[in-house]
Amino acid sequence: MREVGAIAELWRYPVKSMLGQRVLAAQVDELGVPGDRRLALIDAETGRIASAKMPRLWRGLLKCAAAFEEGSAVRIAMPGAKPLWNTDADADERLSAYIGRPVHLADTAPEGATLDRSIPDLVLSEGVEANVDAALVRIGSGSPPGTFVDFAPLHLITSSTLDRIAALGERGAAEAQRYRPNLVIRSTGDGFIENDWLGRELRIGPDLRIEIVARTPRCAVPTLEHGSLERDPQALRVLAEHNRVAPLADVAPEPCAGAYARVMAPGRIEPGDKVLVSAD
């Protein structure tokens, strides 16, 4: 095993496509970080899961913030409105009014659940307002039941990748929050180092072991407003120009940043824990 850095930040996103909350420590298991992507909005008209991957309809979700508070209730803050809890009797009504179309908050994905994902190159050429073609993403192909993660229970990104994006985009910084990771790793390498971790094991802290199962393909989401962060097309354009790689073997190249992982052995982690990667 080779040391590649240490955990800098831990995040969870209780409601899919809403802003999340930073956590001080986490007992990571096969479901990922406790409380991560446990709820989602379901479009009452189509039955599909609401996701900012289709920004024309759902980018407003990224202006909402969700957080677990006392017990298991999730508090949702929306711009210009009083906060609500997922247990409120009028939660669906208020969320529908904010979004501008009927939705309901769910803790279980419908059977065969899908979501729309705008094609990255069309987002760059036509913008997020355009009614671009969409690719359907099926929830659950690599994700554990009881969650709304797209592909795998953990998502990570390194400071090396963020620094490279910032340098190539001529920005002072690239914000990790745009890429919505669970783990931000303060890394020692240079460039898009996660590209080389596909199929390898990572050990974090005393017990956690994870396997990198895919490079993370990027869509419109990093370019959108995230709370106080303004739109930034460079967050995707840099990847389209400089890190267009295959997320998996035998898959067409896409703009990528970060990596998806599955949990091999559970463990408690916190910022400062060392991260080691297995050899070739």
Q: Could you report the per-residue pLDDT of 154-201, keeping only the tens digit for each?
A: 999 999 999 999 999 877 778 999 999 999 999 998 999 999 999 999
Q: Say what the pLDDT of residue 128 is.
A: 77
Token pair recorded at residue 167: 């340098």
Q: Say what the pLDDT of residue 234 is.
A: 92
In the chain, what percentage of residues exceed pLDDT 70?
Answer: 94
Question: Is residue 111 pLDDT above 90, yes or no?
Answer: no
| Confidence band for 139, pLDDT divided at 50, 70 and 90 | low
| Confidence band for 145, pLDDT divided at 50, 70 and 90 | confident
Could you give phi then psi for residue 96, rounded to 5 degrees?
Answer: -65, -40
Question: Which one is predicted more confidently, 6 or 109?
Answer: 6
Token pair recorded at residue 217: 């393909």
The rounded Cα 181 to chain-centroid distance in angstroms is 5
> Three-class SS of residue 12?
strand
What's the rounded mean pLDDT across residues 250-269?
A: 95
Question: Is residue 140 pLDDT above 60, yes or no?
Answer: no
Please give the span between the terminal C-alpha atoms of the chain, in angstroms, as a whole number. 10
| Confidence band for 142, pLDDT divided at 50, 70 and 90 | low
Token pair recorded at residue 128: 């997020």
Report the distance separating Cα 40 and Cα 126, nearest Å: 27
Question: Is residue 138 pLDDT above 90, yes or no?
Answer: no
The DSSP letter of residue 176 is G
Token pair recorded at residue 81: 């409105």
Q: Residues 44-75: pLDDT tens digits?
A: 998 999 999 999 889 999 999 999 986 679 99
Burial of 121 (0-12, 13-18, 19+ CB in 10 A): middle
Q: pTM of the entire structure? A: 0.93
- H-helix or E-strand spanning residue 159: helix 159-168
Q: Which of 191, 162, 163, 160 is nearest to 176 (CA)?
A: 162
Q: Report the alpha-carbon angle 251-253-259, nearest 5.
A: 85
Q: Say what the pLDDT of residue 143 is.
A: 59
